[in-house]
Amino acid sequence: MTPHIRAEKGQIAETVLMPGDPLRAKWAAETFLDAPELVNDVRGMLGFTGTWRGNRVTIHGSGMGMPSLSIYANELITQYGARTLIRIGSAGAMQENVGIRDVILAMTATTMSTPSRGILRELNFAPCADWGLLSAAHAAAGAKGSRVHVGGIYSSDVFYDERPDLNEQLVRHGILGVEMEAAELYILAARHGCRALAVLTVSDHLLTHEALPASERQSSFGDMVEIALESAFA
C-alpha cells in the first residue's frame, strides 16, 4: 500500500488507463473490463482491475491537473510495477480542422510548468508519447472510423485561463488541443522507462465555443477507451 493507493501487491496490472474523473474510471471498468474488482478508493480516487480480451488492465483515476496525476503515476510505477500508462480524457480543440468528438493522439505535450520542473530545472525537456502506442492507437482509430488527429497538445496547469495572447501563439504553432495532465505523464514515463500515451476526446472548442452535450459524452468517450485498449495490446 501507498499513502494514496490501498491496493495490495499484485492487484495493479502492468497496463493502466488513467481518466481524470474517478467516476469515469468506474464507468469504463464496468463497461469494458471482465470481472472488474475495486482495488482503490482512498480519498474517493477509484481504481479497478479486470481483464480485456484476457489481458489484465487497471483503470485508475488521476484527478485533475499534473500535480494530482504525478502522485498516482509515481506510485503506480514505482510501487506497483505499472509499465504502460495511457491517459484517457477530454480536451479543448485549438484548431479549426479539429471537431467536437474527434480523437486527438498526443505525440508531444507542450507545457509551461510541471511537478518535474524542480528536477529538470533549466532544461526544456520535450515530453513525447511512446511511438509503439501512438502508431497502434492511430491504426485502431482508423479501423473504428474515428476522426483522428496526431500532433502536439498543450498541458495547462490552470483551468480558468486568462492568457488570450498565449492561446493565440499555441494556435499559431499548430497545437491541436489543451488538457491538464499529459506532459507530466510523459515525463514520468521517460524517467522510469515506461510507455505512455494520451488518447483524448474533443469535448469543447476554444475557437468556435462549441461543446459536447453531457448526454452525448459517454458514448463518445467509449470510442476513446477502446482505442486505448487496442493500442496497449496491439
Please give the positions annotated as active site. 204
114 and 66 in contact (C-beta within 8 Å)? yes
90 is in an annotated binding site: yes
215 is in an annotated binding site: no
192 is in an annotated binding site: no
Distance of CA 45 to the CA centre of its chain: 16
CA pair distance 208, 47, nearest whole angstrom: 35
88 is in an annotated binding site: yes
20 is in an annotated binding site: yes
CA pair distance 43, 61, nearest whole angstrom: 11
C-alpha cell at 167: 492561446
94 is in an annotated binding site: no
CA pair distance 182, 153, nearest whole angstrom: 9
203 is in an annotated binding site: yes
163 is in an annotated binding site: no
101 is in an annotated binding site: no
- 7: DSSP letter: P
Pairing of strands 177-179, 84-93: antiparallel
204 is in an annotated binding site: yes
Note the maximum CA span of the chain. Answer: 49
Cα torsion 40, 41, 44, 48: sign:
positive
161 is in an annotated binding site: no
C-alpha cell at 65: 491537473
193 is in an annotated binding site: no
CA pair distance 67, 89, nearest whole angstrom: 16
Could you list the residues known to form a binding site for phosphate, using ranges.
Answer: 20, 24, 43, 87-90
Could you list the residues known to form a binding site for a purine D-ribonucleoside, using ranges.
Answer: 4, 179-181, 203-204
